[in-house]
Chain A
Amino acid sequence: MPEDIPNSHRTGPDDQGRFGIFGGRFVSETLMPLILELEAEYERAKTDDSFWAEMADLWTHYVGRPSPLYHAERLTQHLGGAKVYMKRDELNHTGAHKINNVLGQIILARRMGKTRIIAETGAGQHGVATATVCAKFGLKCVVYMGAHDVERQAPNVFRMKLLGAEVVPVTSGRGTLKDAMNDALRDWVTNVRDTFYCIGTVAGPHPYPAMVRDFQSIIGKETREQMMAAEGRLPDTLVAAIGGGSNAMGLFHPFLDEPTVNIVGVEAGGKGVDDRMEHCASLTGGRPGVLHGNRTYLLQDDDGQILEGFSISAGLDYPGIGPEHAWLHETGRARYVAITDAEALEAFQLCCALEGIIPALEPSHALAQVMKMAPDLPADHLIVMNMCGRGDKDIFTVARALGVDIAG
């Protein structure tokens, strides 16, 4: 094959940290040397067997990997089409895929001699995962969380505090996830010497999108092996929910160069993707822009001001998306769709009733997409959806949405 024709979707980013035009390093000069140092350290770690050996050991004994690939038999029957599998990353320690990435970054931070870890969190899952690993390694941990999210995610705030983290409610801007990320960046710019910024998704300046993807790719690698063992072949369709997009990228990346594998990313459609902008579907309803260190699709107004997203799921409530997803969207390698709050709630309940699994609201979006697709597909079509988090954290939100009072 001629070398000048791109024949792989797995070689990005380039040395400027770009996936096509997306990605890059749009940060202030103060942070630039830190980002270059991190890149150099990650490049070293990536080819260091002892780094991956430490990861593998903790994945096995601390996180509980590999997570099962589970055939959802009753759901499959109910939908009456494709054979549905779930990648059970909600069974990880701390209840979501977030810890896969946090472990990698904290091990890296330790190698760099950093003693203070900062993180941003929306629903609190990344914050809890970061607080957990910091407790395990005896590192100081500061978590920035939108004041609004602190209020609606009280159990996770208490968890983080139990784990020894300081939780800083962010009141700047409108007090949401993007503002928490702004304040984490402000902290980092102030405490450059001892602090490591542990970003929770495949966004931010290079090398974060690639690094977080690499840590989350364990999801897709396991899925590949497990599907070969179960069915003797690759899956036909992958479906995953996307806020920033780390669980999706983790599942998708090992399959990007398999032309037979159909890839579907599911954004949060909130109350519907239209002019009211009450959604978080950056690809479906946004356009390219620059925020938080990278160029990607963003929800923004005509003046380039960033808009707040809206979703029933706090974990999807982010106006951007990882740059690699933006690129996969433009190249057409992956297809991106939006699922509304109402559809996700329906999927949430169906999953509880048919499979005895209480899913988080994030993967409920992926499940809702599976419910749309599966009935029209043949019985030998293999779908894998990423069950990236468990729903314990969401029961109050769901109860409220269903009009049930469980607070008293």
Chain B
Amino acid sequence: MSRIGTTFARLQAEGQKAFVAYIMAGDPDMETSLAVMRGLPGAGVDVIELGMPFTDPMADGPTIQYAGQRALAGGQTLERTLEMVRRFREGDTDTPIVLMGYYNPIYSRGVDRFLADAGAAGIDGLIVVDLPPEEDVELCLPARAVGIDFIRLATPTTDDRRLPAVVRNTSGFVYYVSITGITGAAAASAADVAPDVARIKAASGLPVVVGFGISTPQGATEIASVADGCVVGSAIVKLIAEGRPVPQVLEAVAALADGVHAAGARAPAG
């Protein structure tokens, strides 16, 4: 079983919810973001989502946009992001790592070469925002063929007619984008999200984590209690943007992790 599968199986056995934390690789520089990344599992993060900077992040709000710009200004490239993962894996062979970003840097490197390098570096899954199921032959199917999970985004506009196509080739988990909008926007309520999560779980047979707009431990508890976990990105990236020292960033991450894990204690997974 992949690291992602193992992690979700363990969490489910423990009645726990998954905390997925996003940081941008190379923000504001590679050493700082690697230090944050290395501290995430200890702070309670179950799955690391590592952003690949791109000049034109069309689905991201200002917080993630600026993070990408800082990383690029600091000299981050896809090659250096892979190097970060290799260095992280020297000290952690268990925590799943999902790369998240846009297709062009991968396409530019060459899909086959990228997948070989990503697998060798210890990457477990990919979230590529601008590759809907209609473009599965591009990267999704080749990634699955080499054992890398392709994690799909489902959204409020993904209706029942479309859902089977969206989940067909997805693996690992499904990322439910709780709002129509960009990262860092206002959150949806747990009550709004719950029916969609149930619908996607039934259609995919996979764990469903919810993201976009979750910024506080309380919000994380609420959302995680109606899903298999939740993703926090912009709220963590903001602390890095403010230039907080790494221990302070990790302290805030730990509080968010406690929020997510409180949901597990409150509502064991059935």
Contact = CB atoms under 8 A, between A and B. Distances in A.
Interface of A: 16, 24-34, 172-173, 178-179, 182, 185-186, 189-192, 289-293, 295, 298, 300, 302-306
14 contacts: A26-B132, A27-B132, A30-B59, A30-B155, A172-B62, A178-B56, A186-B61, A186-B182, A303-B77, A303-B105, A303-B108, A304-B109, A305-B55, A306-B56
A289 B55 CA distance: 13
Interface of B: 54-59, 61-62, 65, 69, 72, 77-79, 102-109, 129-135, 152-159, 162, 166, 177, 180-182, 185
Given A189-B180, A305-B104, A306-B104, 12 more contacts: A25-B135, A28-B58, A29-B157, A172-B65, A178-B56, A186-B58, A186-B182, A189-B59, A289-B104, A293-B130, A304-B108, A305-B105
Where chain B touches its partner, the secondary structure class is: loop
B62 A28 contact: no
Nearest to A293: B130
A29 B132 contact: yes
B130 A27 contact: yes
Contact of A304 (B107, B155, B166): B107
A302 B62 CA distance: 25
A29 B65 contact: no
A26 B135 contact: yes
Contacts of B152: 29
B163 to A, nearest CB: 11
Contacts of A191: 180
A302 B110 CA distance: 11
Contacts of B108: 289, 300, 302-304
A33 B158 contact: yes
A32 B57 CA distance: 17
Contacts of B61: 186
Nearest to A178: B56
B104 A292 contact: no
A185 B129 CA distance: 13
Contact of A173 (B56, B103, B134): B56
A24 B103 CA distance: 13
Contacts of B102: 290
Contacts of B106: 304
Contacts, number: 114
Nearest to A304: B108
A178 B65 CA distance: 14
Contacts of A31: 157
A404 to B, nearest CB: 36
Contact of B134 (A16, A179, A300): A16
Nearest to B166: A29
Given A304-B105, A305-B72, A182 B157 contact: no
B252 to A, nearest CB: 26
B107 to A, nearest CB: 6
A32 B134 contact: yes
A303 to B, nearest CB: 4
A30 B134 contact: no
A186 B59 contact: yes
A323 to B, nearest CB: 14
A32 to B, nearest CB: 5
Given A182-B58, A292-B58, A34 B134 contact: no
A192 B180 contact: yes
Contact of B180 (A30, A178, A292, A306): A30
Contact of B103 (A26, A34, A178, A305): A26
Given A26-B103, A29-B158, A303-B77, A185 B177 contact: no
B177 A30 contact: yes
Contacts of B69: 173
Contacts of A30: 59, 153, 155-157, 177, 180
Contacts of A190: 180-182, 185
A192 B157 contact: yes
A25 B55 CA distance: 19
A30 B59 CA distance: 9
A304 B79 CA distance: 11
B111 to A, nearest CB: 11
Nearest to A32: B132
B132 A306 contact: no
Counting chain B CB atoms within 10 Å of each CB, the highest count among A24, A295, A304 belongs to A304
B130 A28 contact: yes
A151 to B, nearest CB: 21
Contacts of A16: 134
A252 B177 CA distance: 42
A24 B61 CA distance: 25
A407 to B, nearest CB: 33
A173 B133 CA distance: 28
